[in-house]
């Protein structure tokens, strides 16, 4: 299965421009599943709730329409982060869209730093969605630091974790090696790059988007450049949870002894 990510530097508040950048980066792609960054269409550094309200949209809003068109054009599924407005509640969300339409939505559960001032924590829980008979799990950025999040998706059968991000601290790309290894899943980390400066606030994003295998191998990792990367993976490898002939990483868990 050909999977990958788009890494780029969105302009804050310039949805049309950001959609056009993505469309350009995707030109002519041959892939089945592509992940875009968190808040890919709006940018990240919101100064107040009014700005966020303005830039947010329903899960099937205009950015969804745009992505669905690309999904049909390239016969490819896309996962992407966006600011979601649902009955005036604002979530840091992601959607999975196939050529047939909306497959699923995930709302970021573990909000980071000032996101807590503007967004409501997600209420969707951790669910697995199917595309082409492959089970996919969704997490957004800071969710990575809670091992329970990805573990829940792995226990539910996820083979590939779709992970849009706007990372500003350096730890996640290396930590994903362990997350992939301990859960025996593929991880597609789609981070943004560049810097956002707004009214004295600066966010510098680390880039380093990557695809990691269930054996913890970095199949591709980039630096700070705007790019699209695609790798060919066998998602069936994520069905084998054996570390060796004695250790099955999921079966051997001792749920009777954790959190007691």
Cβ distance 160 to 33 under 8 Å?
yes
- The alpha carbon dihedral of 234, 160, 169, 104 has a sign of positive
Closest CB to ligand ACM among residues 57, 196: 196
> Which sequence positions are flagged as catalytic?
38, 108, 141
Task: Show contacts with ligand ACM in window 56-115 (CB under 6 A).
Answer: 112
- Cα-only R_g, the chain: 17
> Does 205 contact ligand ACM by CB under 6 A?
no
> What residue ranges in 28-182 does DSSP mark as E strands?
33-35, 77-86, 89-98, 101-107, 128-131, 134-138, 160-164
Of residues 3, 96, 103, 141, which one binds ligand ACM by CB under 6 A? Answer: 141
Task: Show contacts with ligand ACM in window 29-48 (CB under 6 A).
Answer: 38
Binding mask 106-125 vs ligand ACM (x if CB under 6 A, - otherwise)? ------x-------------
Closest CB to ligand ACM among residues 171, 243: 171
Q: Are strands 134-138 and 160-164 parallel, antiparallel or unpaired?
A: parallel
Closest CB to ligand ACM among residues 112, 129: 112
Q: Which two tokens stand for residue 164?
A: 């849009």
Of residues 21, 56, 63, 166, which one binds ligand ACM by CB under 6 A? Answer: 166
Selection from 216, 214, 158, 209 nearest residue 188 by Cα: 209
- With contacts defined by CB under 6 A, name the span among 63-71, 161-169, 184-192, 224-232 that binds ligand ACM: 161-169
Q: Whole-number minimum distance, CB 2 to ligand ACM, in Å?
A: 27
SS3 91: strand
**Which residues neighbour 90 within 8 Å (Cβ) at sequence distance 6 or greater?**
49, 52, 53, 56, 83, 84, 118, 119, 120
> Within its chain, how far is the Cα of 230 from the centroid?
15
Closest CB to ligand ACM among residues 31, 153: 153
> Does 7 contact ligand ACM by CB under 6 A?
no
Question: Which spans of this chain sit near ligand ACM (rule: CB under 6 A)?
Answer: 38, 112, 141-142, 166-168
């Amino acid at each position: 299965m050909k999977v990958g990510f788009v890494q780029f530097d969105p302009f804050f508040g310039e949805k049309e421009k950001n959609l056009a950048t993505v469309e350009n980066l995707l030109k002519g792609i041959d892939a089945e599943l592509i992940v875009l960054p968190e808040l890919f269409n709006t940018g990240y550094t919101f100064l107040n709730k009014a700005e966020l309200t303005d830039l947010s949209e329903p899960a099937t809003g205009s950015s969804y329409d745009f992505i669905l068109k690309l999904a049909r054009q390239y016969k490819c599924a896309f996962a992407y982060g966006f600011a979601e407005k649902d009955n005036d509640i604002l979530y840091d969300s992601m959607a999975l869209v196939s050529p047939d339409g909306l497959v699923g939505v995930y709302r970021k559960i573990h909000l980071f730093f000032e996101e807590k001032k503007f967004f409501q924590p997600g209420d969707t829980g951790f669910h697995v969605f199917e595309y082409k008979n492959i089970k996919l799990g969704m997490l957004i950025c800071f969710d990575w630091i809670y091992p329970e999040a990805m573990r829940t998706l792995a226990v539910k059968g996820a083979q590939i974790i779709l992970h849009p991000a706007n990372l500003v601290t350096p730890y996640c790309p290396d930590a994903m090696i362990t997350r992939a290894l301990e859960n025996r899943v593929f991880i597609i980390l789609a981070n943004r790059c560049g810097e956002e400066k707004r009214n004295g606030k600066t966010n510098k994003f680390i880039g380093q988007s990557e695809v990691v295998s269930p054996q913890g191998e970095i199949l591709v990792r980039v630096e700070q450049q705007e790019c699209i990367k695609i790798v060919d993976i066998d998602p069936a490898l994520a069905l084998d949870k054996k570390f060796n002939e004695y250790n099955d990483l999921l079966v051997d868990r001792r749920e009777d002894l954790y959190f007691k």
